[in-house]
A = this chain, B = another copy of it.
Amino acid sequence: MILNQDAKSHDYSKIAQIFRPGHGDITYQAKYGIRDYRGGGRASGRETAARVAAGAVAEAFLKQYKICVQTITLEIGGVRAAKIDREFASTNYLECPDAEALLLIEQRIDDVKKEGDSLGGVLEITAHNVPAGLGEPVFDKLDADLAKALMSIGAVKAVEIGAGCKASQMTGFENNDQIIASKLASDKGSDIVTEFETNNSGGILAGISNGDDIVARVHIKPIPSILKEQMTVDINGNPCPISTQGRHDICAIPRINPVCRAMVYLVIADHLLRQKATERL
């Protein structure tokens, strides 16, 4: 149980009677006929604390298999990292892998903050050392379960696996990851040891891991709670302006990064347990 010892419910009193655009207010009202306007409902990002806690258990379990999941921030507010320096990404709180982009991003965040507006971004999640063979062939494909897990995080609006959106613009010849014999001598007896020239598949073929890095990208919408005035309606259906106060981030990054890692750890742990159940039958 995680006690929220810093709740300030009164910050939300102004929105008791009105629906915040981009929020779950209006859908919770439609579904349940009631909603918690004080910031603590299940549509709040606070809910992700439980995911991170559970993900930590999965991470500890996966450590023995040397499986680890990392995130880098590819883009915030349209400013994209031009180079990928993972070392550098691990040293800044936004997990941005490009020092120059980081400066521009920090500037962009400051500017938008002054305007009372907010930003979205793009994260890349990589799972290393996932063994080949995880994922079920039809109903619970590994990529399908990753897509569900990541899309279930509040602000995520798109999920890509491997080449993702770009795969749709390549030809088969360009997109196929050509298979090469591994340079490493096999110490697994009869198992085939292969590698791939590229990783457009994102480590998943036909829903099953192929031994390469699992790569996913999520596209995160800007925080919907903004100071800038928008139009909405109140609970009586009357139009009214809204300007959301309260403690809101400008961008879900970097808070969303550990949530994404947690969800990927959980999915991989589930599939590894399923695979362990059957692999030496």
Q: Is A75 an interface residue (CB 8 A)?
A: yes
Residue of B nearest to A205 (CB): B27
Binds B, one of A5-13, A86-94, A235-243: A235-243
Interface size of A in residues (CB-CB distance below 8 Å): 115
Question: How close is A80's CB to chain B, nearest CB, in angstroms?
Answer: 10
Tell whether, in the assembled complex, residue B160 and residue A222 are in contact, meaning their CB atoms are under 8 Å apart: no
In the complex, chain A residues 5-50 whose Cβ is within 8 Å of any chain B Cβ? 19, 21-24, 26-31, 42-43, 47
Residue of B nearest to A154 (CB): B206
Rounded to whole angstroms, the CA-CA distance of A181 and B239 in the bound complex is 6
Contact across chains for A30 and B167 when beta carbons are under 8 A apart: no
Is A206 in contact with B24, judged by CB distance below 8 angstroms? yes
Bitwise, A36-67 to B at CB < 8 A (1) or not (0) is: 00000011000100000000000001001000
Determine if A161 and B167 form an interchain contact, defined as CB atoms under 8 angstroms apart: no
Q: Mark A201-232, 1 if CB is under 8 A from B, else 0.
A: 11011111111000000011111111010111
Specify how many copies of this chain sit in the oligomer: 4
Q: Are A30 and B169 in contact (CB under 8 A)?
A: no
Taking the complex as formed, is A107 at the interface, i.e. its CB lies under 8 A from any CB of chain B?
Answer: no
- Complex contacts, A209 vs chain B, CB 8 Å: 27
A246 interfacial contact with B, CB 8 Å:
no
Closest to A220 in B: B168
| Residues 143-167 of chain A, each 1 if its beta carbon lies under 8 Å from chain B, else 0 | 1111111111010011111111101
Q: Is A186 an interface residue (CB 8 A)?
A: yes
Q: Select A159's contact among B26, B154, B159, beta carbons within 8 Å.
A: B159
A169 and B78 in contact, given A175-B120, A233-B179 (Cβ under 8 angstroms): yes
Cβ contacts A to B, 17 pairs, < 8 Å = A19-B194, A42-B137, A43-B137, A143-B152, A144-B148, A145-B148, A157-B163, A158-B160, A167-B221, A172-B223, A173-B226, A182-B237, A186-B237, A192-B235, A197-B231, A273-B278, A277-B277
The 5 closest A-B pairs by CB, nearest first: A24-B206, A148-B148, A118-B172, A27-B208, A22-B176
- A positions within 8 Å CB-CB of B: 1, 19, 21-24, 26-31, 42-43, 47, 61, 64, 75, 77-78, 112, 115, 117-122, 132-135, 137-139, 141, 143-152, 154, 157-165, 167-182, 186, 191-194, 197, 200-202, 204-211, 219-226, 228, 230-233, 235-239, 273-278, 280-281
